[in-house]
Structure 1
Amino acid sequence: MGRNYIFEDIEFYDYINDCVPYFIGFFLLENLLSIILKKKDLYLFKDSFSSLSTGLSTIIWEKIVPSTFLASIEFVIVLYIWRYHRLIDIAEDNKIASIICFLSVDFGYYWFHRLAHEVNYMWATHVTHHSSEKYNLTTALRQSVFQIYTSWVFYLPLGLFIPPQMYMFHKQFNTIYQYWIHTKYIGKLGPLEWIINTPSHHRVHHARNPRYIDRNYAGTLIIWDRMFGTFIEEEEEVFYGLVHPLGSHDPTWCQIHHWYEMYQQAKQYPAWGDKIRVYLNGPGWHPGTARLGDVNEIPMPTKEDIPERLGQPLPALLNSYVFVHFMLISIASLAVLAIYEHSLGYYKTGAVMVYLYLSLTCFGAIFDRKRFAMLAELIRLVMFIGCTWEIQSSVVQYMRLFYFISAGWMIANNISSSTFKTIKKD
C-alpha cells in the first residue's frame, strides 16, 4: 500500500507507490499478449532489464541519498514557497483551484519536457528514458535519477497559490497517466487524439525518425503541442531508441553517458563560447548549425540496422540465469523495503539498496559481455552468502542455498564450458 509522507507538518499520500503493482501487472500482461500473438519484436529481455534497472535505480537513489531535501526537491521547494510566500489561501477541496492546478502542472511539464530535449545539459538528465530500443510498458519505467534536479524549477509558481497536497496529487497523477501511453497495442483514439496525449502521439515522441525528432512533448494534454507548434501526427513507421544507440545495459552508464559525451565534444572546440554552447544548445548542435542542430544530419532508420543496434544475444541458459537472479534479488529487495524498512533503519536499508544496485551492475556487465562480468557475478554471490550467514530466516536460507548452487554452477562452467567464453568481447 502507499504511504503517507510528512514534511514538517504537511502530509501527503504516495499514490505512485500504490500503482507499482499495477505497473508490474500490466507490463507482464502486455508481455504475455506479445507471446500469444507471436510479436517477438515487442519485448527483449535485456532491453526490458535496462528499463527496469533504471527504474529501480530511482528507488535506490531515494533511499541512499543523504538528504530528504534532495530526494524530494520537487515537493519541498513548492512547499517552502507556499508556506512563506504564498499570495492567497485556497482550500484543499476547491474544485476550480484543482482544475487550475491540473492545467498548471501539465503546462509546467510540457515546458520542462521541451527544454529537456532542446538544452543539452537538461537532455543529459532525460536521455535515459529514450535509450530503449523497444517501446513497451517497461519503457515507461526507464527513468533518470537526476531528472528531478532540472524539472523542479518549472513548478515553483504553483507554490504561490496552490496548496501543497493538491499540487502533489496532480503531480503524481501526471506521472501515473504517462505509464499507459508507452504501448504499441493501442491505436489511434478518434476525437480524443485532439485533446489528450495518447499512445500514438507518444510513439512519435520516442521515435528516431528525422521527421519525428523533438515533437509531441505533452504529459497529459496534447493541446500544448498543438498551441506551440510542436505537434506532429503518427504517419510513417516508428523506429525507437536514440539517434546514436547507447549500446550498454550498465545502469550507471545509462544514467551518466551523455555527460561524458558532452565533455568529449566540448574538448574538441578551442573557443570557450563553443564549449559552453555544447551544454546550452540542443543535443545535435555543432559549430555551423542552428541552435538545435540540423535534422537533415540524422540518419534515416531502417529495419536492417535494428539487429546491430540490439547487439548479440546471450546464450539461452545464461539469459535464463540472469532473468531468475534479477527477479529474485529485485523482488526480495523491494519486499525488504516495503515490510522491514522502518525496523531495519537507514544504514541496513541502505546496504540492501547498495547490494541491489551492485546486482544490477553485474547483470548489466553480463549483457554487455564485459571481461570481468563473470568474476564480478561470482563475487556478488559470495557476498550474499557471507553477509547473510547468521540470518536464520527460512526465506534467506533458501536464497542462500540457491546462491551456493549458482556459485558452484558458475565455477564449473567457467572452467569447462564455452558458455561463459562467449561473454568475452569479440
Structure 2
Amino acid sequence: MALLNSVHDNYSTIVETNLKGFGQFIYFVDPNKYHFKSTYHVPEIFQQAWPYFLTLVLVENIIRYFEKRSTVRVNDTITSFSHGLFQECFRLLLRGSESALYIYIYDKYRLVDLPWESTLTWYVAALAVDFCYYWVHRCCHEVHILWAQHQVHHSSEDFNLTVGLRQSFLQNALGSFFYLPMAFFISPALYLTHHQFNLLFQFWVHTEVIKSIGPLEYIFNCPKHHRVHHGSNVYCLDKNYGGVLIIWDRIFGTFAEEQDGVQIVYGLVVQQPSFNPLFLQYFYTQYVFEKAQSMENWKHKLAAIFWGPSWEPGKPRLGCDADKIDVTSRTKYDVKIPQWCNVYLVCHFVIIVLEFQELASRHTSLNSIVVLGFVLYIILSLTIIGMLFDNHPYAGILEFIRCITIVIIMQRKPELSLIGDFIPVIQSFFILSSLFWALHTFKIIQIHNKCKAL
C-alpha cells in the first residue's frame, strides 16, 4: 500500500519518466546504434517495445485508479489488442513484401546516394518519414475508402494507451505507397527503421493522464493534441494528423487546440456497437460500396469511394461542416457478462497471444500455407472472443466448435502445436472448455424450446 501511495503522490514524475522516456527511447536514441546498411539488419523494433507497452498500460491504470477515474474495460481492451494482433498477423503473411516496391525503386531509380552511416542522413530520414506520415494520415481521413480502414483506430469509445494498438490490418499495406517518393533518396533500411520509430512514438500520445508537456507542444505531437484528433465533437473532426511533429498541422491548417471545459467524446461519429474485431475491420468498407452503389451515375459512384466520408452529391469534396453531426455526449456501448466469462476470455486470449508470439518467432521457417492456417485460426479465435463479449446468440456454439477442433488437432497432429511444451495442460484446458460450452449450448437450446412451446 505504501508503494501504491507513493505512486499516487508522485504520478506526474512516473508519467514523465515512463511515457516521455518512451518517446526519448524512440526518437532521441543514439543514431550511431541504429544505422543499418541493409534491410536484413533492421531489427523488429516494434516487437522489442512490447515491455514498454505493457509497463505503460499498467502505470496509466494505476494513475487512473488513484485519480478515481475508470480503468480499462476488459472487453474494449481485448478488442484493441485483437486489432493489433490482426495487423501483426497480416504482416506475417506479407513477409516484408509491402516494402518490395520501395526497395525496387531505390535500387533502380534513386537520384542520390546519401551516406547510410551519416547522422545527418538519419535526421533527414526521420523528417521525411514524419512528413509522409502526415499525408498518409490526412488521406486516411479525407479519402472514403481509406477512412474505411483507418476508422478501426477510432472505433473505441475509450481513450487510453491500448487504443494505440487498435489498427487496421490493411492500412499499413495501403499507406506504404505514400512513402515511395522517399525511395529516390533514402535507403530502404533507414526508411524501415524510422517507419517503426514513427509509429512507436505515437503509442504514448493515446492517454488522458498527461495534461500538457509545456512549450514542446508547439513542435511535437502529444496527448493533448491527439485527444482532439480522436474526438467526435465537430471541432475535433479531421484535425491534428501529425505523427511525431505537430508543425505539419500548423503549416497546412489542420491544427486544433483542445478546448477547456468541453468534454471530448471518443469513438466514431456514428458509433458501431460491437466488440467483434473482424466485424469492426470490414463493416465500414461494406458501407462505402453500398453508398457507391446507391449513386445514380459513375461520377458520383467514384466520388462516394474517393471523396471524403461526409461527401454527398452537390456538396464540396469533404462535405459541409453544417451537415456534420456534433456529438456532445454518449453512453458507451457495454454488455454485461458474468465475471467468470471475463476470466475465461482473458485466459483464452493469453493463450492466443502466446501462440502468436511463437508463430512470429518461427514464421520464416514455416511453409506459407501453415502460416496462413495459424493466422486464420488466430483471427477466428479473436472473432469468437469478441462475439462472446457481445453476448452473440451463436457465440457459445462457435466457441464449442473451436475448442473441440483444437483438442482433435492436438491429439492427431501434436507437431502443429505452437506451444508444444504445454500440450497436456493446454489440451486439458480446451477439453474442459469444450465440455462447458457443450453443456451451456444444450441449456440455451432447452430454454429456447421452452419459450417456443409457450
TM-score normalised to structure 1 length: 0.88
Q: Is the 8 A contact 2:396 2:440 kept in 1?
A: no
List runs of 5+ in structure 2 lacking aligned partners: 1-33, 449-454
Q: 1:92 aligns with which of 101, 107, 116?
A: 116
CA shift for structure 1 position 134: 0.8
SS at structure 1 position matched to 2:69: coil
Name the residue aligned to 1:276.
302
1:374 aligns with 2:396: yes
Q: Distance in 1 between matches of 2:401 and 2:64?
A: 36
**Quick one: which amino acid aligns to residue 25 of structure 1?**
T
**Aligned residues: CA RMSD:** 2.5
CA shift for structure 1 position 19: 1.0
Distance 1:64 1:7, change over 3 A: farther
**Quick one: which amino acid aligns to residue 86 of structure 1?**
R
1:314 aligns with 2:327: no
SS at structure 1 position matched to 2:42: strand
Name the residue aligned to 1:39.
69
CA shift for structure 1 position 8: 9.1
CA shift for structure 1 position 85: 0.9
Name the residue aligned to 1:129.
153
SS at structure 2 position matched to 1:243: coil
CA shift for structure 1 position 76: 2.1
SS at structure 2 position matched to 1:388: helix
- The number of residues matched between the two structures is 406
**Quick one: which amino acid aligns to residue 325 of structure 2?**
P
Name the residue aligned to 2:87.
58
CA shift for structure 1 position 339: 4.8
CA shift for structure 1 position 240: 0.4
Q: 1:229 aligns with which of 240, 244, 253?
A: 253
Q: Distance in 2 between matches of 1:9 and 1:368?
A: 42
1:200 aligns with 2:250: no
List runs of 5+ in structure 1 lacking aligned partners: 422-426
Name the residue aligned to 1:424.
none
Q: Distance in 2 between matches of 1:271 and 1:64?
A: 38
**Quick one: which amino acid aligns to residue 375 of structure 2?**
M
In the TM superposition, what whole-angstrom CA distance separates every residue of 1:171-207 from its partner, at most 9, and x where no partner exists? 1111111011011111111100100000100110011
Name the residue aligned to 2:376.
354
Q: Distance in 2 between matches of 1:78 and 1:409?
A: 51
Q: Distance in 2 between matches of 1:102 and 1:406?
A: 49
Q: 2:287 aligns with which of 226, 245, 261?
A: 261
Q: Distance in 2 between matches of 1:365 and 1:384?
A: 19
Q: Is the 8 A contact 1:120 1:283 kept in 2?
A: yes
Name the residue aligned to 1:250.
276
Distance 1:153 1:313, change over 3 A: same
**Quick one: which amino acid aligns to residue 54 of structure 1?**
H
In the TM superposition, what whole-angstrom CA distance separates every residue of 1:8-65 from its partner, at most 9, and x where no partner exists? 985422211211232233223323443454322x422211122111110112222334
Q: Distance in 2 between matches of 1:339 and 1:106?
A: 29
Distance 1:25 1:417, change over 3 A: farther
In the TM superposition, what whole-angstrom CA distance separates every residue of 1:273-304 from its partner, at most 9, and x where no partner exists? 2111101111011123221112333333344x
Name the residue aligned to 1:398.
425
CA shift for structure 1 position 264: 1.6
Distance 1:72 1:175, change over 3 A: farther
SS at structure 1 position matched to 2:105: helix
Q: Is the 8 A contact 1:113 1:217 kept in 2?
A: yes
Q: Distance in 1 between matches of 2:366 and 2:141?
A: 41
Q: Distance in 1 between matches of 2:244 and 2:220?
A: 6
Q: Is the 8 A contact 2:228 2:240 kept in 1?
A: yes
Q: 1:150 aligns with which of 174, 185, 189?
A: 174
TM-score normalised to structure 2 length: 0.83
SS at structure 1 position matched to 2:79: helix
Q: Distance in 2 between matches of 1:34 and 1:410?
A: 36
Name the residue aligned to 1:163.
187
Q: Is the 8 A contact 1:178 1:220 kept in 2?
A: yes
Distance 1:269 1:329, change over 3 A: same
CA shift for structure 1 position 394: 4.9
Distance 1:228 1:382, change over 3 A: same
Q: Distance in 1 between matches of 2:361 and 2:154?
A: 33
1:291 aligns with 2:320: no
Q: 1:409 aligns with which of 404, 424, 436?
A: 436
Q: 2:207 aligns with which of 183, 197, 201?
A: 183
Q: 1:20 aligns with which of 50, 62, 80?
A: 50
% identical equivalent positions = 33
